[in-house]
A and B are shown apart, each in its own frame.
Chain A
Amino acid sequence: MKLQINGKPVDVDVPSDTPLLWVLREEVGLTGTKFGCGKALCGACTVHVDGNAKRSCVTAVGDVGDKPIVTIEGIASDAVLHPVQEAWIAENVPQCGYCQCGQIMSAVALLRAKPQPTDAEIDAAMSANLCRCGTYPRIRRAVHRAADAIAAGAAK
């Protein structure tokens, strides 16, 4: 099976009903995408498929086909972090950090669709991602901060 992951072609040999999550973690070695619930309830496994936020724990790899897959490892370029990641650091968002890659993938997708989201839009887009450490207030601030940073970057 041929996949497009983070801009590179990847060949994997797995049954087509294998969840994308476990293909990424075990076959490709991309462990930034996390297992949390296995039922699309927590969002820790969020990746982008064709630009949309998807729960990879319930996405069969056979259904992805040649659509581009982007994981947390693929949103930054080498040493330069994505503005959303920078905003996460600036707001001291992560505590245990386990859910944060999924949170960031949801936020990146949100900001692509809505460059200046309201609090209500953030709530709507980010409520599929659970955090047991309770970082929600900081995530909300970080999404706004990232939106401003992206807008400022585009204006340059």
Chain B
Amino acid sequence: MIEVSRRGFLRGVLAGGGALSLAVTFGCGDKNATRIEHADRTGELAANLYITVKPDGRIGLTINKAEMGQGVTTAYMTMVAEELGVPIDRIDMKYADSHPGMRESFNMQITGGSTSTKEAFGGLRHGAAAAREMLVAAAAADWRVPVTECSVADGKVVHAGGHTIGYGELTKRAAHLAVPAHPTPKARKDYTLVGKSDRRVDARAKVAGTAVFGIDFTVPDMVNAHVIHGPVYGASPTQVTADAAKRRVGVIDVIALPFGVAIVAAKYWQARAAAQDVTVAWSKGDVHGLDTAKMAQAMRDYHEDGTVAVDQGDAGKVLAHATTKVEVIYEAPYLAHAAMEPQNATAMVHGDRAEVWAPTQSPTIVQTMVGHALGIDRENVLVHVLLCGGGFGRRAIGDVCVQAALISKRVGKPVKLTWTRESDMTQGFYRPVYAVAMKGSTHDGKVDAVAINCLSQSIALSSSDLIDAALPGIPGPIKKMVVNGLLAMIGSNSVPDMFSTEGLSNTPYQFGNLHVASSPVQNKLPVCSWRSVGNSVTGFVMESFVDELAVAAKQDPFAFRRKMLPTTGKQARVLDALEKLSGWSTAPKSGVGRGMARHFAFETEVGEVAEVEIVDNRIKVRRVYCVVDCGLAVNPDLVKAQMEGGIIFGLSAALDQEITLVDGVVQQTNFDTFPPLRMFEAPEIIVQVIESPDDPTGVGEPGLPPASAAVANAIFALTGTRLRRMPLQRAWNERGAK
């Protein structure tokens, strides 16, 4: 994937001129002139695409990310407040609309891959420093003093000689100065907010009920839609009877579309209630006949080596001569994301243009998908980002936006489409299924070879729109060839699928001899990123397996891992702190099993120890100790919250959740059959955030991968039974059965 660099951001800064409003055009005329003109007209210093200083001294911040609970708005406001020397509450934030200049991640405007804070530390922070330097330079010039004698405090520039002036009075003069190409951000030792602040900026609105989520959003003249989806993913209506429904109060139209039957009404409930008066005959659908139990068996029985992603040393040879050897298969099911806010979007199509308001992780993917569906250029699709009631990867897919747009095109009005929970859960884009065959050997108390064959469904193969969205500047027909060529290579197993082996192929373990191969499982049920993506499975696989090897080698799990991990840096810091925090040297009390796991994902190291009991055959996770090294923690309490959230999200999946299909029909439709962990089973969670010397790295996802393995390892410690298939509760119930 494409590296996101500070340089990339600064290019945006320099090219951006005064573009805070989308109305400001890029690339024509003198950039400084654009900024000066903007300042003369509005009194604002628009330092770059993201940061503007207003005449009243307040700071406008445009965030090109989605807030879905991870705290990105808090983190970004904290970083900008720190650089500019203003209190956080003097910043007014808004979400960026879709904008070509804001495609900062993988050539897209996207919130994912736990990248936001890292990106902003490289980019936004420098943009804020640049704004500060312009304000300081303007004041210093006014006072005829060197900038080195000036500092900033509480929204003012201060000179050692006693002058002070508020930012608001400097905006116009600062706009006449060039944007510094190499601004110097504040030194870490001088921070007063970053690493110290523990508040969330959005808590009050969220507890008062005033926060406006996508589902709460309205535009004038808007109508509401409910879609009846078919019983099998991809089924289309072949015959629709809706006369009675059309006569109901409020109902505007009932429309058969390729993806289902849309009922459009003034109010949502009018549309939803009218569904009982609609009968539909369906085509067979894209995944007709798909049976996940048969699929799992076929994956278990598949033994051909796949495309090689890593081949260090000669694992095959070492394994062939090994005396202490472990050969096992780990499995993981499809999973729905099931964010609390059901999928929804509001769309308006007018001619060859479309406007979408959606709780989305990626305006660029929505632009691409809606553009394709409507047959219009993606730049003609304007996307407004709304607050997300959870995302977890599912909101990086624009299918609900496409459906809203196609309905709007038919009714000629803005349409808000709200999916039912049942549609949210059955309409595809799942975490991929996996079967991972692991072979490993130990010698002299150390692992000396690991060979991995990873079977999973490819996210890349499911998401041609995603790849399409990430390839800028290539003309349509050529891009189509590139995308299709890339997909064909993955599909024919000519290149490895990086999503499926992440967490295995880039493991920090030094095994000496490592072989990693992968093969894509192919069907038409779409899959997508799910919190921590491939790591959600590979963390379970690798850490369960290392635990098995430690048992085979009769080694303590901490000591065993230390022999294969770097002796300094994140891995070492986390292992040391976790051993201490969890009281590992003291045996757990009787009836309690204890297991540990660690994983490195999104450049962050997380280690966890789980304490588990089994009560009436129910796996009870009582306590989880967690240590995280994510570099500098911008808001340490938010980091803790993300670890807690990642652990509980991971435990829900590890213990109970799976999406299964019988004859193409998804069997889980709501929270009764796809149960998230509830309060009474939520473990106590104790998190330690390492005071790390490194720059910020990912936080939203890395807490999840170790949780499942820590629990499985604890169950083994308690019972001697090794559970190698998620969900673990079902594996426990079926233990011993063949």
Q: Which residues of A contact B (CB under 8 A)?
A: 14-15, 17-19, 22, 25-27, 30-39, 41-42, 44, 71-73, 76, 81, 85, 88-89, 92-101, 104, 122-124, 126-140
Contacts and interface: CB of A to CB of B under 8 A. Distances in A.
B207 A94 contact: yes
B679 A26 contact: no
B1 interface: no
A100 B680 contact: no
Nearest to A128: B678
B682 interface: yes
**Across the A-B interface, the 6 shortest Cβ-Cβ residue pairs:** A32-B209, A134-B648, A98-B389, A96-B69, A97-B206, A95-B69
A35 B418 contact: yes
B709 to A, nearest CB: 18
B40 interface: no
15 contacts: A22-B267, A41-B670, A73-B209, A89-B204, A92-B637, A92-B638, A94-B202, A96-B341, A96-B389, A128-B678, A133-B69, A133-B340, A133-B390, A134-B647, A136-B648
Contacts of A140: 679, 682
Given A95-B69, A97-B202, A104 B671 contact: no
A136 B679 contact: yes
B374 interface: no
B269 A135 contact: no
A32 B210 contact: yes
B329 interface: no
A88 B641 CA distance: 13
Given A94-B202, A97-B205, A136-B682, 18 more contacts: A15-B249, A25-B216, A31-B209, A32-B210, A33-B209, A34-B389, A39-B670, A39-B671, A44-B340, A73-B209, A127-B680, A130-B340, A130-B671, A130-B678, A132-B649, A134-B645, A135-B641, A138-B644
Contacts of A36: 340-342, 421
Given A22-B267, A35-B342, A134-B649, A93 B203 contact: yes
B268 interface: yes
A128 B266 CA distance: 32
B394 to A, nearest CB: 11
Contacts of A39: 421, 670-672
Nearest to B420: A38
Contact of B207 (A14, A25, A35, A81): A81
A143 to B, nearest CB: 10
A35 B649 CA distance: 20
Contact of B208 (A30, A32, A127, A132): A32
B198 A92 contact: yes
Q: Which of A37, A135, A138 has the most CB of B within 10 A?
A: A37
B70 interface: yes
Q: Which of B68, B204, B647, B671 has the most CB of A within 10 A?
A: B671
Contacts of A93: 203, 207
Nearest to B704: A134
Nearest to A36: B340
Nearest to B646: A134
B343 to A, nearest CB: 12
A26 B267 CA distance: 7
Contacts of A96: 68-69, 339-341, 388-391
B87 interface: no
Nearest to A139: B679
Given A34-B215, A37-B670, A98-B340, A81 B418 contact: no
Interface string B674-707: 0011111010110000000000000000000000
Nearest to B388: A96
A51 B390 CA distance: 30
B209 A72 contact: yes
Contacts of A17: 273
B200 interface: yes
A73 B684 CA distance: 31
Nearest to A101: B209
B199 interface: yes
Nearest to B645: A134
Contacts of B391: 96
Contacts of A33: 209
B342 A71 contact: no
B273 A18 contact: yes
Contacts of A41: 670-672
A85 to B, nearest CB: 4
Nearest to B642: A95
Q: Which of A39, A98, A100, A138 has the most CB of B within 10 A?
A: A98
B649 A137 contact: no
A88 B648 CA distance: 19
Q: Which of B68, B672, B678 has the most CB of A within 10 A?
A: B678
A26 B239 CA distance: 31
A114 to B, nearest CB: 15
Contacts of A37: 421, 670-671
Nearest to A143: B679
Contacts of A128: 678
Interface string B646-683: 11110000000000000000000011100011111010
B207 A88 contact: yes
A132 B338 contact: yes
B211 interface: yes
B421 A31 contact: no
A124 B680 CA distance: 7
A17 B269 CA distance: 11
Contacts of A85: 207-208
Interface in B483-533: none
Contacts of B648: 134, 136
A60 to B, nearest CB: 12
Given A34-B215, A41-B671, A132-B340, A95 B684 contact: no
Nearest to B342: A35
A94 B388 contact: no
Contact of A100 (B206, B212, B268, B420): B206
Given A31-B216, A44-B340, A134-B682, A92 B641 contact: yes
Interface in B330-345: 338-342
A19 to B, nearest CB: 7
Nearest to B203: A89
Contact of A123 (B203, B208, B679): B679
A92 B641 CA distance: 8
A41 to B, nearest CB: 4
Given A41-B670, A96-B68, A132 B339 contact: yes
B534 interface: no
Interface string B318-356: 000000000000000000001111100000000000000
Interface in B104-159: none
A95 B208 contact: no
Given A35-B418, A98-B341, A136-B648, A22 B680 contact: no
Given A92-B199, A92-B637, A96-B68, A122 B389 contact: no
Q: Which of B200, B392, B638, B684 has the most CB of A within 10 A?
A: B200
Q: Which of B200, B339, B641 has the most CB of A within 10 A?
A: B641
Contacts of B390: 96, 98, 132-133
Contacts of A126: 679
Contacts of A73: 208-209
B69 A97 contact: yes
Q: Which of B204, B272, B679 has the most CB of A within 10 A?
A: B679
Contacts of A19: 269
Given A37-B670, A41-B672, A99 B203 contact: no
B211 A97 contact: yes
Nearest to A72: B209
B364 to A, nearest CB: 22
A123 to B, nearest CB: 4
A123 B704 CA distance: 23
B213 A71 contact: no
Q: Which of B390, B649, B672, B676 has the most CB of A within 10 A?
A: B390
